[in-house]
A = this chain, B = another copy of it.
């Protein structure tokens, strides 16, 4: 093996590929110091005489020294990597969330290992193990189950839940006020005079959807309108029959308005209405959740509950950084407020008899 190493070194003249990574020992030798001194000089921790430091830095620069992260991680038992698991990178919401996380992490000189777990419990758990193996400095996740967070916490890895909360262990979390969002959307429709409001909600036990549903109910209660339970339609993610079921809701229960509790469902609802030739606002009002690009570009624009997605990600990262800096601090919890953006897709209901009014 020594023979192989040597021959590789001799072949180092090959254009393009350096034969061997340059190590601390190399630059120490070059500068005539020990490896420890080199370590101190380059990491900036501990005393090093200015002349020695200069020689070391110069040598490092000249030889193109890049410290080996795995050696450092092995020694320090923690890395500069943060594991991030989201449900679906293909969905603009999660992509933007990840962008916010990455931005903040980058500013603090941490790297993001990003995975998309498809809300699959088994995958989520498997990623937790991977993050454990990497000695991640922390993990930020949109949880689909509590097992991953438990496993991580048990092994001393800090977890931040974002968008949803499911953990059975105490941990930092940042969410938006889903109940308020649901209330804003529903109250807006009720104020316009709607009494039969269809609710399209994800069929999960997530706090997001539970919250939006709760807001839908409380808005009704505040307006003293009783909810027709048949107007509430839980739809499984990526269900192939989502649009058919929405159409059936329209046919069978005659809502005058629809509140779609996430961007995916809003898109489905919008398409169903278009295919059926139903006019937004005039025939059926529509409120979406999450202000994605298309909602402001279609005509009429879609009234939506906007959430500060990028900021959600940033806050999650900040929470994690705070905990890394101060491991003993109390679990942080942040709840960001959504806002209602009224556009042309909502209007007072038109009764069939009043169709010819202006």
Q: Tell me the smallest distance from the CB of A91 to a CB of chain B, in Å.
A: 9
Q: Give Cα A111–Cα B297 distance, bound, in whole angstroms.
A: 36
Once the chains are docked, how many angstroms separate the CA of A102 from the CA of B85?
A: 12
Choice from B68, B71, B92, B106 contacting A92 with Cβ under 8 Å: B92
Q: A112-B114, A113-B81, A297-B270 are in contact. Are A16 and B96 (CB under 8 A)?
A: no
Which residues in B have their C-beta under 8 angstroms from that of A154? 16-18
A89 CA / B139 CA spacing, docked (Å) = 19
Contact A69 B135 (CB under 8 A): yes
Complexed CA–CA distance, A89 and B92 (Å): 10
**A254 CB within 8 Å of chain B:** no
Residues of B within 8 A of A278 (CB): none
CA of A102 to CA of B86, assembled, Å? 12
Write out the residue numbers on chain B whose beta carbons fall within 8 Å of the beta carbon of A190. none
How many copies of this kind of chain does the complex include? 2
A153 at the B interface (CB under 8 A): yes
0/1 per residue, A66-92, Cβ < 8 Å to B? 111111011001010100000001101
| Interface bracket on A | 35 or more
- Minimum-distance CB pairs A-B, first 10: A95-B95, A70-B73, A89-B99, A294-B294, A70-B70, A69-B133, A70-B74, A114-B114, A66-B132, A294-B297
Q: What is the bound-complex CA distance between A99 and B74, given in angstroms?
A: 30
- What are 10 A-B pairs with beta-carbon distances under 8 A? A17-B153, A18-B154, A18-B155, A66-B129, A66-B155, A69-B133, A70-B74, A90-B310, A102-B115, A297-B298
> Is B66 within 8 A of A133, CB to CB?
yes
Highest count of chain B CB atoms <10 Å: which of A67, A79, A134, A270: A134
Contact between B79 and A89 (Cβ–Cβ < 8 Å)? no
Report the Cα distance A134→B299, complex, angstroms.
Answer: 49
Q: A95-B99, A114-B114, A298-B298 are in contact. List 12 more A-B contacts (CB 8 A).
A: A16-B153, A66-B129, A66-B132, A68-B74, A68-B133, A70-B134, A112-B113, A293-B294, A294-B297, A297-B297, A297-B298, A298-B299
A70: chain B residues within 8 A (beta carbon): 69-71, 73-74, 79, 134-135
